[in-house]
Chains A and B, each alone.
Chain A
Amino acid sequence: MAKGVLVDLTKCVGCGSCTVACKLWNDLKWDPQNPTVGDKVKLNDKNWTVVGRHEVKDKDGTPVWRFVKQQCFHCKEPACASACFAKAFQKTKEGPVIYYPHLCVGCRYCMVACPFNIPKYQWEKTFPLVTKCQMCSTRVAKGEAPACVSVCPAGVFKYGDREALLKEAKSIVAKDPKYVNHIFGEQEVGGTSWLYLSDIPFEQLGFKTNVTHRPLPSFTEKYMQATPYVAITWGAILTGLYHYTKRRNQIAKENNKNIKA
Chain B
Amino acid sequence: MAANAQKWSFRITPIRIFLMLLSLLCVGVIVFRLVTGLGMVTNLSDEWPWGLWIGFDVLCGVALAGGGYGTALIVHVLHKEYFSPIARSAMLTSLLGYLLVMAGLFLDIGQWFNFWRPFVSWGHTSVLFEVFWCVSCYTTVQILEFTEILTERVGTKYHALAVKALPVLMIIGIIFPTLHQSSLGGLYLLMVDKLYPLWWSPIIFFFFLLSSFFVGPAMICVETTLAGKAYDHWIPIPVLRKLIRISGYAMIVYLVLKVFDLVNRGVFNLMFKGNLEGNMFLIELVLGIIVPIIICFSGFSNSRAGLFTFGLLVSGGVVLNRMNVVITGMIRSTGVSYVPSLWEFAVSAGLVAMGILAYCFIVENFKILDHDGHGHAA
Contact = CB atoms under 8 A, between A and B. Distances in A.
Interface of A: 43-44, 79, 81-88, 103-109, 111-113, 115, 117, 120-121, 123-129, 208, 210-212, 216-217, 219-221, 223-224, 227, 230-231, 234-235, 238-239, 241-242, 245-246, 248-249
A234 B76 CA distance: 15
Listed from nearest, the 4 A-B pairs whose CB atoms lie closest are A106-B110, A123-B39, A108-B49, A85-B129
B323 to A, nearest CB: 15
A85 B77 contact: no
Interface in B167-212: 167, 170-172, 174-175, 178-179, 186-187, 189-194, 202, 205
15 contacts: A81-B125, A83-B126, A87-B122, A104-B110, A105-B111, A127-B110, A211-B193, A220-B190, A223-B186, A227-B130, A234-B174, A238-B171, A242-B79, A242-B171, A245-B80
A184 B193 CA distance: 16
A121 B49 contact: yes
B39 A117 contact: no
B81 A249 contact: yes
Contacts of B378: 246
Nearest to B190: A113
A237 to B, nearest CB: 9
B126 A79 contact: no
Given A85-B118, A123-B37, A219-B192, 18 more contacts: A85-B123, A85-B126, A104-B110, A104-B117, A121-B49, A124-B40, A127-B110, A210-B193, A212-B192, A217-B190, A219-B202, A223-B189, A227-B179, A231-B175, A231-B179, A234-B175, A242-B170, A249-B81
B177 to A, nearest CB: 11
Given A105-B118, A126-B35, A220 B46 contact: no
Contacts of A86: 117-118, 121, 123
**Contact-residue size bin, chain B (C-beta under 8 Å from the other chain):** 35 or more
B190 A117 contact: no
Contacts of A223: 127, 186, 189, 205
Contact of A234 (B111, B115, B127, B178): B178
Contacts of A212: 192-193
B24 to A, nearest CB: 23
B209 to A, nearest CB: 11
A29 B371 CA distance: 63
Nearest to B37: A126
A249 B47 contact: no
Contacts of A249: 79, 81
Given A111-B46, A216-B192, A223-B205, A127 B111 contact: yes
A241 B78 contact: yes
A86 B81 CA distance: 43
Interface string B64-87: 000000000100111111000000
A181 to B, nearest CB: 22
A220 B167 contact: no
Nearest to B122: A87
A124 B37 contact: yes
Contact of B36 (A115, A126, A224, A238): A126
B45 interface: yes
B109 A105 contact: yes
Contact of B175 (A111, A216, A235): A235
